[in-house]
Structure 1
Amino acid sequence: MDALLLIIGFICMLIGILGCFLPVLPGLGISWLGIVLLYFTTAVPANYWILGITLLITVVISVLDYTIPARGTKHFGGTKYGIWGTNIGLIIGILSPIPFGFLIGPFLGAFLGELFFGSKNHGRALKAASGSFIGFLASTFIQFLVCLLFLGLFISLVWQYKEALF
């Protein structure tokens, strides 16, 4: 049973890293699940501090994943209409069947929100939409780094308890 949990946990780690770039998969949550599965083995003793801290990191980064693009819009001069457009565009982009909708949605949402409801200035609307896109890229990069950190923790724990696991 330990070998099965180890394999499923490692697969979760890989899917989690992939999920950083595919918005349909909650990448960080799946990576955290991989760590939890490792602690379900009889070979690795439960460490509630590590599980709690990694869960807290997962929750905080998951919340930031939705707020960073909106903050990027605001930082680049967007108004509340651009921020709302970013959030609405992100939801529509994720749910839409178009390729790369998760990238196009927030950008278009911020652009259209600024253009129609904020200022009528095309340059300012484009700048706010660019801020949304940069925020999305920053959020994805942070999530990817944390997933790599979780993978490193997973490998470290497997290495530490390799005699009992194999």
Structure 2
Amino acid sequence: MEIVYWSIISILFIIGFVGLVYPIIPSVLFLLAGYILYGVFFSFEHFSLFFWLIQSFFIILLFVADYIANMIGVQKYGGSKAGVWGSTIGLLVGPFIIPFLGILIGPFIGAVAAELLVNKRDFKNSLKIGFGSVIGFISSVITKAVIQTLMIVYFLLVVF
């Protein structure tokens, strides 16, 4: 039965990583569900207050990394808050319109559209800002993947 339990926990962790490229999937909730199921299946005894404080710190880092990477990516290429918002909206809508590629095209189009419509930028600068939004997204995914990996490694160190 232990194999089944670990398989379920592993699947939840994998879904958490899928959430890195499909932001509609709440990655953090799947990681937390894996921890809670471990407690239900095995024992909560390993999860001290310190464990939850460290995991909470990582969760805060995930949200901060996501916001900052997107903001820096757009602003480094001359974008404004409108570009950041457009990129974020494109990130959420893109995968529904164009599965898989929408995750990259959505933020790009969102940032370009926002800069063109809100800030009346020329097309060339708007394209550059859209490129920055894609760079920001990719940076965010890499950073969050590292943080989520650290969360799971810490979990495994605690339970073994």
Taking structure 1 as the reference length, what is the TM-score of the superposition?
Answer: 0.77
Give the letter aligned to residue 36 of structure 1: I
Alpha carbons 1:6, 1:37 under 8 Å: kept: no
* Aligned residue type for 2:11: I
Give the CA RMSD over aligned residues.
2.6
Higher mean displacement: 5-14 or 106-115: 5-14
Instruction: Say if 1:70 and 1:86, in contact at 8 Å, map to a contact too.
Output: no
Give the 5 Å matches for 1:100-115.
100-115=101-116
Deviation at 1:5, TM superposition (A): 4.5
Larger radius of gyration: 1
> Does residue 149 of structure 1 match 2:137?
no
Structure 2 unaligned spans of 5+: none
- Percent identity over the alignment is 30
2-side partners of 1:24 and 1:80: how far apart?
Answer: 22
Q: Is the 8 Å Cα contact of residues 17 and 28 (structure 1) preserved in structure 2?
A: no
The 5 A counterparts of 1:9-158 are 9-40=9-40, 41-42=42-43, 44-94=45-95, 96-99=96-99, 100-158=101-159
Task: Identify unmatched segments of 5+ residues in structure 1.
Answer: 161-166
Which has the larger displacement, 2-11 or 17-26? 2-11
Instruction: Give CA deviations for 1:126-154 in whole Å, capped at 9, x if unaligned.
Output: 11111111110111111111222223223
What is the aligned length? 158
SS at match of 2:21: coil
Report the AA paired with residue 26 of structure 2.
P
1:53 match: secondary structure: helix
Provide the C-alpha distance between the structure 1 equivalents of 2:126 and 2:44, rounded to a whole number of angstroms.
56
